[in-house]
Structures are given as C-alpha cells and as structure tokens.
Amino acid sequence: MKRRDFLKATVAAAIAPQLEKGRPQQPKAFELDEKTIADLRKSIDDGKETAVSITEKYLARIEEVDQSGPKINSIIELNLAALDIAQSLDRIRRVRGPMFGIPVLIKDNIETGDKMQTTAGSLLLEGNRAKKDAFIVNRLRQAGAVIIGKTNLSEWANFRSTRSTSGWSGRGGLTRNPYALDRNTSGSSSGSGAATAANLCCVSIGTETDGSIVSPATTNGLVGIKPTLGLVSRSGIIPLAHSQDTAGPMCRTVRDAAILLTAIAGKDPSDPATNAIKDTENYVQYLNPSGLRGRRIGVGRQFFGFNDQVDAVMEEAIRALKGAGAVIVDPVDMATKGAYSDTEMEVLLYEFKADINKYLAGLGPNFRYRSLKDLIAGNVRMRAREMPYFNQELFEMAQEKGPLTDKKYRDALAANHRLSQREGIDAAMDRHKVDAIIAPTGGPAWTTDLINGDHYAGDSSTPPAVSGYPAITVPAGFVHGLPVGITFFGRAWSEPVLIKFAYAFEQETKVRRAPRFMSTLELGLG
C-alpha cells in the first residue's frame, strides 16, 4: 500500500467509535515503548534511526493499537504530510534542537496551517482548515518536532453538556483508556492522554480550562503540566474561556514535559496574556533529583477523603517525599476552597459565548456557523450524530448571557481571582510558609457510561485553574491496576520550583508502568 493510502486508511478507521466486547487483542511488543525524547534524539545522533524511520514506526504503532488491536481510538486525524516533514528534517546535515525528529500529537482544538482540520471534535466544524499554525505549533516546528496527527477530545473541551461523557466527540467517537479499555480516559484532553500512555507518540499537547490536562494525565499514568496563564500562547486554539484557558505538555516523564514546555512557552503578540513573561526559560535546568531536600511541602488535606485507596497511595507518596528530604507541613488548608464554584461557572459561561463567537467570526463569511447561536441550531439539525447520548445545556446557558461588560460577569471574575489567588493559594502558602502544596490529582478511571455520563469522585484542579496558577501531576501509584497521580501546585510563575519537586518525586518513586490494554474483568474489578 502506498504511504498516503496507508495514512488515509488509518484516518478513516479512527472516525467510528469502538466498543468491542470480549478479550481485547493485545498489541505486539513495540521497540519504541517508553522511549523518551532523549532516547530518540540519541538514536538519531548515533545514526541508528532517522526522523523518517521513527515517524514510520509510530504510524505503524497507531495503525496496530489505535485502529486495529485494542482500538483505543485516540487519533482523530493523521497528518498526511508527516513523513514528508520527517524526510525534510533528515536532509538537514546538522541536527538542531532537543526535539529534532520527535513525533508529537496535538489536541484537535489546536490549529495547524496544513491539510488537517481543527474541529474540537464537532461535526459542525468539519472542513475547518486553518490558514496558519497556532503559535505553539509554529514553536514545535521550529524546534524540529514532527506533528504526526491530532487527537480526539471531549467535544468542545467538555463544555457542551452537564452530563457529558469524557473522551467522546461527534466527529471522533469514544476514546478508550489503555489501562482498562472499558474505563474512561477523563478529559477533555482524552486522546492526548490515551495516545501518549499507549506509546502512539513520544509526547503530546493538551489544553486545560479546569482539569483537562491534569485529569486525563492522572487516569492515563502520565505527567501533565498546566502552566501559569500566559506562559503558553492560546492564539490559534479554539477557546473555552480566556481567563482560564491554556495549553500544556502531556508526557511519560517529567524530563520530557520540561523539554516540551520549553519548546512551546514564549511571548506571542497575538496573545496579550503572554506579555507577563519576563524571560524565556529552559526548564530542563531545574531537573534536580535532590530538589525536594529541605523544601517545605504542604499537604492539601481538603482534597483527600473521596476514595480510601487513593488516600493510601497519597500517604505512600508523602512518605516518599519525606524520604527525598522534604519537610512535610500537614495540613495546609485554603479557607476559600469551594467558595468560587458558582462564580467560576458564571465566568465560563460568559467567556465561552464571547470567545467562541469571536473565534467563529474569524473563520470568514463563508463558514456556515458564525456564532454560538448557529452552533446550537446546528447541533439540533444533526441531533442523531451530535447528540445521541447527551444534549447541549451548557451551550444554551451560555447563549443566555450578555456581554463581558455586564456587572455580573465582572464581579464574578473579580471574586474568582480574589478568592483563588490572594485569599486562596497565596494566603495558604504564606500562612504555612510552604514552597508548594500537594493533593491527589483525582481518582482512578471510572467505567465509561454513555447514557448517564461521567461519575468521577474527586479532584484538585480547580484552585490552580481559577487562579491561573501552575500545577503538575506525576504518577503516584495504582489502585487495582489503574493509575492515580499526585499534583504539585503553587504560586504564579512557579514552574521552575514545581518541576524541580515533581522530578525529585518521580526519581524517588518511579512508579509509572506502561498500560496492558486490559478490561475491568481482567483487572479483577468486575
């Protein structure tokens, strides 16, 4: 089969949702399993691999695992030019940059100025091909990365219905968790999480408004970084809410996450939030295995208690932090936890309407859907394919909101920032004199239920999300074979410190295990 025919065939196979019964077909051993950016770069430098050979191997792995074999269905579209891009890189005599020749997958709400579409998983945006790369995609290409495709996601970044199923989109179908195929990936960066865990790429990019990087990272046994708002440009990314949106790395190791964050961070004239960046950092310099020694780490006990087995993993993690030399301060509570739940939703509804209307208007006068009102009507017209399991209550609630000049919006936004920043994370860290706060990222993956929607138990993503402060999740352990993570979060622009802590914890524990594409019954949970 010709190369382009092979790629087109695998794209077509990825579109239909897959929910097979019985024992999943196990993929063969993969020679690039768990390979890091450094591993692949060394193989290129040593002449053992080329950008083309590595790209070919990942594309074959995608065909075997994503569309054949276990069918995790994490890729929504492959890049038909991926091998051409890799070939052009191989013609460069001097290898440049730490991501030279590294295959990367990006979420399908991030624009690429090529033949790939950008749809946020919605059938309504089929045919939306951007005229240019998103800022972060341009940064990746400059670093030498090979964009091999786009990943499925919870449609519209999981902001369409109050009882949606994470990992499902009208265009892409349902993404499955490679650790237990009948369990959920979480979201909304579902495909990025599942694909990276399953070694369908070296690293991937997700986006987050509240939990959409860190939650699928924990359920897929990954490292995920939700950066400080403004560290990573949002231009060229389909918006949800500008006061909380960001993109970030989803990787199997902290080192890879630091390399990827270095590649995508930077000032962008098209995103004023990035003007707050003082200096361009190389985050790899903060990878210190002794980075926890003597540092005060606060335990966010308010985020415990939703699952006894997760609590047990966290207690083991706290012992590991002590073993790495950290001074544990327990508990470190935030007086305002939960105080901004209502105002967060108010802000998201207002901003989604304003931001998506602006984005759609920018697609040009010939694009069919020019506003949120048009999307709502389009979903009704395509109800059989777009709303077979859940509706669009959040779309309808957002449509009822007024402009961003409304006092109700401005008051809610001010409350969000005051309660989550000055009176929230900052106050707790000041009071207890801690360098970071830890908490369970979330619970183990739940069984997917397309009829009733998600039923996750607990998380810790909201304070960093609403404040715009950074958070990093790292694999911490397993509950009946299902991964769970620990989150480190802290003040604005504290990525260097958090990366240092996350790396030291990772090196102390090294708990990540690759998925085995099992079922709940095979894990002994049925």
Q: Identify the H or E element spanning 310.
A: helix 308-323
**Cα angle value 3/81/231 (rounded, 5°):** 140
Which is catalytic among the residues 107, 150, 337, 401?
Answer: 107
The four Cα atoms 321, 319, 486, 421 give a dihedral, to 10 degrees, of -60
- C-alpha to C-alpha distance for 328 and 313, rounded to whole angstroms: 16
Helix count (H) and strand count (E) of the chain?
A: 18, 13
Tokens standing for residue 211: 């939990």
| Bridge partners for 204 per DSSP | 105, 250
Phi/psi at 221 (5° precision)? 65, 40
Which is catalytic among the residues 188, 233, 235, 420?
Answer: 188
- C-alpha to C-alpha distance for 193 and 203, rounded to whole angstroms: 9
**Would residue 188 show up in a list of annotated catalytic residues for this protein?**
yes
AA letter at 19: L
Cα 184 to chain centroid distance, Å, stands at 14
**Would residue 420 show up in a list of annotated catalytic residues for this protein?**
no
- C-alpha to C-alpha distance for 370 and 360, rounded to whole angstroms: 5
Ordered DSSP codes for 97-150: STTTT-EEEEETTB--SSS----TT-GGGTT---SS--HHHHHHHHTT-EEEEE
Q: Identify the H or E element spanning 474.
A: strand 471-479
Which is catalytic among the residues 122, 154, 204, 212?
Answer: 212
**Would residue 460 show up in a list of annotated catalytic residues for this protein?**
no
Peptide bond into 190 cis (omega under 30): no
| Residues taking part in catalysis | 107, 188, 212
